[in-house]
Amino acid sequence: MVAPILRCISWGRWFCTPNPLTALPSGLRETHSGAKGLLAVQKARGLFKEFFPEKGTKVELPELFDRSIAGNFPQTIYCGFDPTADSLHVGHLLALLGLFHFQRAGHNVIALVGGATARLGDPSGRTKEREALDAEHVGSNARALRQGLETLAANHRQLFASGQTWGSFTVLDNSAWYQKQHLVDFLAAVGGHFRMGTLLSRLSVQTRLKSPEGMSLSEFFYQVLQAYDFYYLFQRYGCRVQLGGSDQLGNITSGYEFIHKMTGEDVFGITLPLITSTTGAKLGKSAGNAVWLSRDKTSPFELYQFFVRQPDNSVERCTQALYHSSIDALELMSDQELKELFKEASFSELVLDPGTSVLDTCRKANAIPDGPRGYRMITEGGVSINHRQVTNPESVLVIGQHILKNGLSLLKIGKRNFYIIKWLQL
Ligand code: YSA
């Protein structure tokens, strides 16, 4: 039976918050007692890729999250999302998960909708200039994105609240501060602190300058706006950490340098791995391969297929984070969504009693052949449950590891056969 707390997932059902119980050695389990541990835990899980700068001038990143240092708690962390479409997509998921983890550890997080920056178009990770979007279009996308982010945050709270003190989740839009900004005042106040040599050295700029199309001034200017946002949020909200996919490294570095120059203070960036398609392209709207989080655009089945059909080398391509996500997605499914999933022939539902061994589970699912061959498939490592390899055919599955909170398990035989198991009376 699905616990009531796991229902109610509508738009935001697919944010796949990594469940610390499903995949970590016990020494690395996240207690949410502090984000210092969270940094190490999420690095180990592959959600966080890099922290920078490696060393601050006055303070180190882990120290910021050390509750025992007076005045350090809570921190504020932000991540920006440009409204270039009317829905979030699966590429945004990791960044959101990162924010949610900080929020659960008691820190305040800001999801920044780039209502202004989307008009310029971020050149990071792009080989061609983005098609210009008019103000009206961006405005309506920004409203949709804000709503999506707020729904996700509300679902997250409803699904995971457990009496701990959470930080706040605030959605802001950078058009709020650029709308009132006079161009000449802005250039006079800010422009002098950016050096051309440094801006030109960014990978995003270099790549585009070398492309046949070149790069427009508005795109070139993009990193200045993102840097200024970081500064603005640092001044107004004390925000010292910016999260972003690894394509954001240059923009975040510009912010770090600008803030350091203006204030002498240390701020930090945390990057997350990029989810790419099998051809290596960044998954997103621009590449035309987006898997949307909005149910109107991508059905639960399609989205789940995306997770479970990742080829095995996705551990390298997209890090293990995606594997964890497929399990977390399953855990967050409502009854209705599960029904939809099981309607599709390629998943089968099997109802089992707790205490069933790995061998019996596989046999009842008709997932392995009878006799010694089937037995050997397990001992030789061909079977995994919730992406954990199980090699002892007689072992009994453990709640919290092989069986999710909502009584489901994902059985994988070989490379491509998946079965969803429903356990009774847990
Ligand atoms: C950031 C900060 C600001 O102050 C203002 C704007 C921004 C937005 C940022 N420049 C940007 O363009 N982001 S995005 O809309 O393309 O994506 C939002 C976040 O999701 C980014 O951190 C991005 O790196 C991440 N993302 C997008 N596609 C991804 C991905 N992460 C992993 N895999 C993918 N395929």
245 CB near ligand 1 (under 6 Å): yes
80 CB near ligand 1 (under 6 Å): yes
List pLDDT tens digits, range 58-114.
999 999 988 888 888 899 999 999 999 999 988 888 898 899 989 989 999 999 999
Residue 385 has pLDDT above 60, yes or no: yes
Report the separation in Å between the CA atom of 314 and the middle of ligand 1, taken as the mean of its atom positions. 20
Report the separation in Å between the CA atom of 79 and the middle of ligand 1, taken as the mean of its atom positions. 8
- 405: amino acid identity, one letter: K
Q: What is the pLDDT of residue 247?
A: 94
Residue 130 has pLDDT above 90, yes or no: no
Residue 219 has pLDDT above 90, yes or no: yes
Q: What is the pLDDT of residue 6?
A: 20
Task: Residue 96: name the closest of 46, 138, 148, 159 by CA.
Answer: 148
- Ligand 1 atom with the shortest distance to the CA of 276: 35
Report the separation in Å between the CA atom of 223 and the middle of ligand 1, taken as the mean of its atom positions. 13
Report the separation in Å between the CA atom of 188 and the middle of ligand 1, taken as the mean of its atom positions. 28
This prediction has a pTM of 0.80
Residue 71 — left, alpha, or beta (φ > 0 → left; ψ -120 to 50 → alpha)?
left
Chain position carrying tokens 């949410």: 32
Separation of alpha carbons 47 and 272, rounded Å: 6
Report the separation in Å between the CA atom of 244 and the middle of ligand 1, taken as the mean of its atom positions. 6
| CB neighbour class for 193 (10 Å; exposed up to 12, middle 13-18, buried from 19) | middle
Quick one: the chain helix, strand, coil %, rounded to 5?
Answer: 45, 15, 40
Per-residue confidence at 392, pLDDT binned at 50, 70, 90? very high
79 CB near ligand 1 (under 6 Å): yes
219 CB near ligand 1 (under 6 Å): no
81 CB near ligand 1 (under 6 Å): yes
Residue of 15, 76, 92 best suited for mutating to test ligand 1, as the one with most atoms within 8 Å of CB: 92
- Ligand 1 atom with the shortest distance to the CA of 114: 6
Bridging pattern class, strands 268-272 and 239-245: parallel
- Token reading at 386: 């919730």
Per-residue confidence at 24, pLDDT binned at 50, 70, 90? very low
Report the separation in Å between the CA atom of 174 and the middle of ligand 1, taken as the mean of its atom positions. 14
Give the start-to-end residue ranges of the domains of the chain.
Answer: 6-322, 346-423
In b/e form, how buried is each residue of 211-222, taking b as 16+ CB within 10 angstroms?
eeeebbeebbbb
| Closest CA to ligand 1's atom 28 | 91
* Sequence-ordered list of residues with C-beta below 8 angstroms from that of 277, at least 6 positions apart, any chain: 283, 287, 289
Report the separation in Å between the CA atom of 39 and the middle of ligand 1, taken as the mean of its atom positions. 20
Residue 2 — left, alpha, or beta (φ > 0 → left; ψ -120 to 50 → alpha)?
beta
* 345 close to 355: Cβ distance less than 8 angstroms: no
Report the separation in Å between the CA atom of 418 and the middle of ligand 1, taken as the mean of its atom positions. 32
122 CB near ligand 1 (under 6 Å): yes
Write phi, then psi, for 48 (nearest 5 degrees).
Answer: -95, 135
- Ligand 1 atom with the shortest distance to the CA of 246: 24
Domain at 6-322: CATH code: 3.40.50.620
**CATH class of the 346-423 domain in this structure:** alpha beta
